[in-house]
Amino acid sequence: MKKRTYQIILLLLIIGIISIRLFYQKPNLYRKVDYLLGTYVEVAIYQKPKRARILADSTFNLMRKYEKILSSHIPNSEVYNINHSDRNSIKISSETSDLIRKSEEISKLTSGAFDITVGKICNRCDFVENFYPNQAEIKELLPYVDYRKIRVSNDSLYKESKGIEIDLGGIAKGYIIDKAIEFLRDEEIDKGFINVGGDMFLLDNNNPDKWKIGIQHPRDKGEIFATISVNNKSVVTSGDYERYFIKDGMRYHHIINPKTGMPANDLVSVTVIADKACLADALSTAVFVMGLENGLNLIDSIPDIDAFIIWEKNDKLNYKMSDGFDRYLIDVK
């Protein structure tokens, strides 16, 4: 009898220890934040802590690898070398050529509103020192801004003029998010998200509810303008409040109309939802340049891509959505 009592107590203890272990191994939302791509990046995945840590670290390493190739600011990155080369033809990796090809497709789709050769102007701007080139300088720089003057063939980029510079800032974050999501999906992670300074890809949520995302108020930092809910989509916003300064009543910001060389001033915020972050990223920048009517017409002509557009008139914010955006919208403030 005594022996049996011991056996039962022992059994209960073992069951207790196992269930405590199981409890602690239950997949929770593991979150890791780090600074890269010029912003704060968060990788959040539902996974047991030990594996989650390893996978999040690998995801950050992967994103860093791409940043080192694609950033125009990192000396000796491929983009840096393209911009500083004194030759017309520069050897590039398959990743860079892949992204430049994708950029060219978006340029054609948007009649040149998206154009990575705005690098010639972007690289002269300094939003920390409040500097934007003056009209005389823009006139000199504009002949170098035309995506038709660069071409990718085999493993090289050909520039019609040596002075051409590129900037992948309007598409690279999305591209890198897609690469990171591909990696996580290959590792059978299907719940979580990646957030690169507000540009996101949402995998599934852990509960039946979808992820709730706030679209930032473009004139009131910290406020939410609208709330949406999505799963298995990318949500990317381009805004004139991200990098800017105001001089003589004019807002100088980082999204440039390639036709004029000046900041695009029709809209203040464009959020695009798409299956690929790369597409959402490039299209949010492009629609920002295209303006309300042309931008919305383009978005409405592409299946499964939606946009929420905000503009300002007489100090009042107005918004309009693409035809299919309703299915994501929870509320607008």
Q: Which residues lie near ligand AMP (CB under 6 A)?
A: 114-116, 118, 122, 167, 169-170, 238, 242, 254-256, 258, 281, 284-285, 289
What's the closest the beta carbon of residue 78 comes to ligand AMP, in angstroms? 16
What's the closest the beta carbon of residue 110 comes to ligand AMP, in angstroms? 8
Question: Residue 47 binds which one of ligand AMP, Mg ion, none, with CB within 5 to 8 A depending on kind?
Answer: none
What's the closest the beta carbon of residue 285 comes to ligand AMP, in angstroms? 4
Question: Residue 118 binds which one of Mg ion, ligand AMP, none, with CB within 5 to 8 A depending on kind?
Answer: ligand AMP
Residue among 97 and 285 whose Cβ is closer to Mg ion: 285
Residue among 114 and 325 whose Cβ is closer to ligand AMP: 114
Q: List interacting residues with Mg ion (CB under 5 A).
A: 170, 281, 284-285
Residue among 71 and 205 whose Cβ is closer to ligand AMP: 71
Question: Residue 228 binds which one of Mg ion, ligand AMP, none, with CB within 5 to 8 A depending on kind?
Answer: none
Residue among 56 and 116 whose Cβ is closer to ligand AMP: 116
What's the closest the beta carbon of residue 29 comes to ligand AMP, in angstroms? 27
Residue among 45 and 99 whose Cβ is closer to Mg ion: 99
**Chain position whose Cβ is nearest to ligand AMP:** 169
Contact 204, 231 (CB under 8 A): yes
What's the closest the beta carbon of residue 123 comes to ligand AMP, in angstroms? 9
Give CB contacts under 8 A, 24+ apart, made by 191-196: 191/27, 191/45, 191/46, 192/29, 192/43, 192/44, 192/45, 192/46, 192/47, 193/42, 193/44, 194/41, 194/42, 194/43, 194/44, 194/59, 195/41, 195/42, 195/44, 196/37, 196/39, 196/41
Question: Residue 95 binds which one of ligand AMP, Mg ion, none, with CB within 5 to 8 A depending on kind?
Answer: none
Residue among 47 and 234 whose Cβ is closer to Mg ion: 234
What's the closest the beta carbon of residue 18 comes to ligand AMP, in angstroms? 49
Question: Residue 114 binds which one of ligand AMP, Mg ion, none, with CB within 5 to 8 A depending on kind?
Answer: ligand AMP
What's the closest the beta carbon of residue 255 comes to ligand AMP, in angstroms? 5
